[in-house]
Structure 1
Amino acid sequence: MDFTPTEAQTEARDLAARIFGDLATHDRLKAAGTGSDPELWKALCAAGLVAAAEELGLLGLVLLLEEQGRTTAQVPYAASCVYGVLALTAHGSAEQRGRLLPAVEDGSAVVAGAFPAQTGVRASARGELTGTVPVVPWLRDATHVLVADAGRQLWLVPLGEGTGIEEVELTAPWSAGRLTLEGAWAEPLGPGTGAYTDVLATARTAFAGLQAGVCAGSLVRAVAHTNTREQFGRPLANRQAVQLRAADAHMDTEAIRVTAYEAAWRRDAGLPYATHALTAAWWASEAGHRVVHTGQHLHGGAGADLDHPVHRHFLWGRQLDAYLGCGAEVLQELGELIANGE
């Protein structure tokens, strides 16, 4: 395995870091409230960073999502790249790719994902969907939503006639909504359950990469704070207990990063990666939980301030923990896959 980024991946990552760093500032994030930042989304699309997901592959996308996570930038970047660009590239027909990809890649269309599969969604023989998905992240920003029915067939649903959206607030400001389908027209994406399995594993890997960035950003803030905050005439960072706590958080963050890199590399190489995606999801859930708590704890009382930047990392880390699934659930699924020889 070689996780060294290509020249194109490095250039895209550096460009993403500049855009997120310049536009996802604390003041702009506060102004966005619980919604998205449309100007930041336009900047990312204009720079070609949504379209880049098709060429850079999943490993390249993970690198870019780390940069989003470092700043907790409020845009549907992960969702539209995973459930839109990569899903269409891998499982769309030539006609679907030609018709849908240009709009998704230039940002005029945004795809959210109703994942994991919702057993309450049913498809008719004519491709009309009925059912309810309680929570879909970034749904309020979306023009389309990728839905898996009870049989795990993927359907791409244009939001409009037959669909209803009710605003839902999550732990993190992810513009989520409750999706109601009442005979909504949809088009199938990919044959059978193989497409669903691949998109789910891709999503787990990508959101694990996002969590690596969230944790790295939290830790950077904690290190800066403990190096400048003094107690009894000495920086907090000089205390062994603080150093050990930060070191543990660093190791946890690296574990999230390397497992996400491995799963992404395997997908790009055409190797089986479902168990590796679950491993990355487990580390992102369990270790991510620890890291963002550490980041907040090392800030002392300031970390509990709802307006403090580190608190946003805490909220994102907890939301990703919930989205990826609790550790016990992920381990059970991983154990079943291994036992079945998958």
Structure 2
Amino acid sequence: MDLRPDPLQQRLRDAVDTVLTRTGDLSAQLATIGVPSLNAPERLGGLALGLSADIVVNERLGYALEPLGCYRETAFALDMLDSDDVPAEHLAEILADLYKGTRHAVVVGARGPAGIQVKPGGRLWGESEPLPRSAIGLCVVRTADGDASEWRLVVPEPGTCVTESIDHFGMPASRLRFEGAASQPLPVSAAHWERALAAARVRQAALLLGIADRIVDVARAHVNTRTQSGKPLVERQTVAHRLALLIGEADGWRLVLNKAAWELDRDEHPNTAAVLAVAGEHAQLASRTALQLHGVRGMLAHSTAASVYRMVAVESVRLGTPTDLWLEAASTT
């Protein structure tokens, strides 16, 4: 089993790790190495390097415990905009800001029933689900009209699109409130939507596996230094075996993730619902195990174990719970 990254992935991994050592705005710093334009469509001014490059960025962000959900949201929205029917020149100024990391895009209504209504004149009313906290410059919105739904494009304007800062399971988030926001129809075919959602799931799975790797490393360091009855905790088989199982499973899931990214880049159709489900379950198990192994120390609000537990609680269900994803995966096989 060869888990070594290819040369491009290794160079990108090193570049992201270097950025993560800097101070300042993380989005702007990542923009200096081409994020999020690395995998953005060429027609929108991106480099279109493929998901195999994109998952490296998300895995390293996860390992650094810097989830930066606005990055994946922007990539998701750009995939939705990759249509010849969408005039790229109309979005040129906004795209420039997205690639500089000064503004971000979001996809509203991708995680469940559409809750945004379209009124006469294409005006939108309603409230979004919790979204990553960021400066939002572009919205791709799914709207509801009875049993039917459609996608619309919104450039937020003061007074008609209000951003509220909220906490979601103890993590910073935003909610958009549309109060007569102007919109235009966005042509999105079923195949286009499925491809964009599949790519978003692969990115999210990469983040979750990165978070899981980090908390397993933290737990491993803890049990090697924490003594009980005169010997390190790691010398107890029940502790060592649990960590060994997590490490071994992580290698397998990483191969599954890279295979799914490779297949999507070749316009094939991997079962990304299953990929995200296993990544979510693995991250949940890793965070619970770390919390248990840290004991009371892990329950302190400022501890890494507690912080990761809250982070995983949000990120592992952002694009659907593992249970729902497994049901979808089973229905498509």
Query: Fold conserved (TM > 0.5)?
Result: yes
Please list the CA deviations of residues 113-147 of structure 1 after superposition, one character each: whole Å capped at 9, or x if unmatched: 22225422233574432222232233x43222222
Does the 8 Å CA contact 1:165/1:178 hold for their aligned counterparts?
yes
| 8 Å contact from structure 1 (residues 118, 149) kept in 2 | no
Shift of 1:222: 0.7
Instruction: Please give the alpha-carbon distance, in whole angstroms, between the structure 2 residues aligned to 1:90 and 1:201.
Output: 17
The 8 Å contact of residues 152 and 196 in structure 1, kept in 2 or not, is answered as: no
Give the Cα separation in 2 of the matches to 1:226 and 1:195: 47
Residue equivalent to 2:32: 46
Task: Please state if 1:332 is matched with 2:327.
Answer: yes
Aligned partner of 1:79: which letter? Answer: R
Any conservation in 2 of the 1:212–1:284 contact (CA below 8 Å)?
A: yes
State the Cα RMSD in Å: 2.6
- Write out per-residue CA displacement over residues 13-33 of structure 1, whole angstroms, 9 at most, x where no aligned residue: 21112222x148xxxxxxxxx
Out of 220-229 and 68-77, give the one that drifted further: 68-77
The CA deviation string for residues 290-311 of structure 1, in whole angstroms up to 9 with x for no partner, is 1111122222221111111232
Matched positions, count = 319
Match in the other structure for 1:146:
140
Match for residue 102 of structure 2 among 108, 126, 137: 108
Which residue is 2:44 aligned to? none
Secondary structure, aligned partner of 2:307: helix
**TM-score for the superposition, normalised by structure 2:** 0.85
Task: Say whether residues 1:224 and 2:221 are aligned partners.
Answer: yes
Q: Is the 8 A contact 2:74 2:106 kept in 1?
A: no
Query: CA 1:249/1:263 → structure 2, altered by over 3 Å: closer, same or farther?
Result: same
Letter in 1 for 2:328: E
Of 71, 75, 99, 1:78 maps to: 71
CA displacement at 1:221 relative to structure 2: 0.5
2:205 alignment partner AA: A
* Conserved 8 A contact 1:152-1:192: no
Which residue of structure 1 aligns with residue 314 of structure 2? 319
In the superposition, the TM-score normalised over structure 1's length comes to: 0.83
Quote the residue 2:10 is aligned against.
10
1:268 Cα deviation after fit: 0.9
Distance 2:305 2:22 in 1: 17
1:213 is displaced (CA, Å) by 0.5
Identical positions, percent: 23
- The answer to whether 1:178 aligns with 2:175 is yes
CA pair 255-124 structure 1, distance change in 2 beyond 3 A: farther
The structure with the greater share of residues assigned to helix is 1
SS state of the match for residue 164, structure 1? strand
Instruction: Decide whether aligned partners of structure 1 residues 322 and 242 sit closer, same or farther in structure 2, where only a CA change above 3 A counts.
Output: same
Instruction: Map residues 296-307 of structure 1 onto 2, 5 A cutoff.
Output: 296-307=291-302
1:214 to 205, 211, 216: 211
Q: 8 Å contact 1:16–1:64 — kept in the other structure?
A: yes
Q: Which residue matches 1:263?
A: 260
- State the Cα distance separating 1:255 from its structure 2 match: 4.3
Q: Matched residue of 1:72: which SS? A: coil
Deviations 1:231-286 (A, max 9, x none): 2332211211111110222234334433332222111111123xx21011111222
Segments ≥4 residues shifted beyond 6 Å: none
Per-residue CA distance 1:74-99 (angstroms, 9 max, x = gap): 53453344224444446754435645
8 A contact 1:117–1:149 mirrored in 2: no
**Partner of residue 254 from structure 1, selected from 251, 256, 267:** 251
Indicate yes or no: 2:190 matched with 1:193. Answer: yes
Between Structure 1 and Structure 2, which shows a larger proportion of strand residues? 2
How far apart, in 1, do the equivalents of 2:126 and 2:266 lie? 37
Gaps of at least 5 residues in structure 2 are: 41-46
Matched, 1:123 2:109: no
For 1:335, the aligned partner's letter is A
Residue identity in the other structure for 1:278:
A
- Residue in structure 1 matched with residue 156 of structure 2 by the alignment: 159
The separation in 2 between residues aligned to 1:248 and 1:81, in whole angstroms, is 35
